[in-house]
Structure 1
Amino acid sequence: MKKILKVSNLDVKLKERTLIERLSFDINSGTLTCITGENGVGKTTMIKTILKNFKKDNHVKFYIKRNQVQYVPQLRNIDDDYPLMVKDFIGLGLQKSLLPWISKKEKNAINNVMKETNLLHLAKTPLGKASGGEQQRVFLAQALVSNPKLLILDESTASMDKDAKVELLRLVKNITVKTDTAVIFITHDPLLVQKFGDYDLEIKNKQGTLKSVKGVNN
Structure 2
Amino acid sequence: MMTEQIQVNHYTVSFGKKMILKDVSFALPTDQLTVVLGENGAGKTTLIKALIQAALTGEKAETIQVHANKLAYVPQFRDLGDDYPLSIKAFVGLGVRDKGLPWLNQEEKARVSDALNRLDLSELADLPLAKASGGQKQRAYIAQALAKKPDLLILDEPSSALDSLHTAELVAQIRKAQQDWKIGVLWISHDTSWVKKSADSYLWLHDKTITTGPAIELPDGASSKHSEEVKHVL
The aligned amino acid for 1:35 is V
Residue 92 of structure 1 aligns to a residue in which SS?
helix
Residue 175 of structure 2 aligns to a residue in which SS?
helix
- Aligned-pair CA distance for 1:44: 0.9
Q: Distance in 1 between matches of 2:182 and 2:40?
A: 30
Which of 158, 165, 168 aligns to 1:166? It is 168
- Aligned-pair CA distance for 1:188: 0.4
Q: Equivalences for 1:52-131 in 2 at 5 Å?
A: 52-54=53-55, 55=59, 57-65=61-69, 68-98=70-100, 100-131=102-133
Corresponding residue for 1:200? 202
Corresponding residue for 1:23? 24
Does structure 1 retain, via aligned residues, the 8 Å contact 2:8–2:27? yes
Corresponding residue for 1:38? 39
Q: Distance in 2 between matches of 1:36 and 1:138?
A: 24
> Identity of aligned pairs, percent?
35
Q: Distance in 1 between matches of 2:120 and 2:129?
A: 15
Q: Distance in 2 between matches of 1:25 and 1:60?
A: 10
Q: Is residue 144 from structure 1 mapped to residue 139 from structure 2 by the alignment?
A: no
Does structure 2 retain, via aligned residues, the 8 Å contact 1:92–1:99? no
Does structure 1 retain, via aligned residues, the 8 Å contact 2:197–2:216? no
- Aligned-pair CA distance for 1:32: 0.8
Does structure 2 retain, via aligned residues, the 8 Å contact 1:12–1:49? no
Corresponding residue for 2:6? 5
Does structure 1 retain, via aligned residues, the 8 Å contact 2:51–2:66? no
Alignment: residue pair count: 213
- Aligned-pair CA distance for 1:40: 0.8
Q: Distance in 1 between matches of 2:88 and 2:47?
A: 31
TM-score by length of 1: 0.90
The aligned amino acid for 1:38 is E
Q: Distance in 2 between matches of 1:15 and 1:120?
A: 48
- Aligned-pair CA distance for 1:111: 0.8
The aligned amino acid for 1:58 is E
TM-score by length of 2: 0.84
Q: Distance in 2 between matches of 1:26 and 1:175?
A: 22
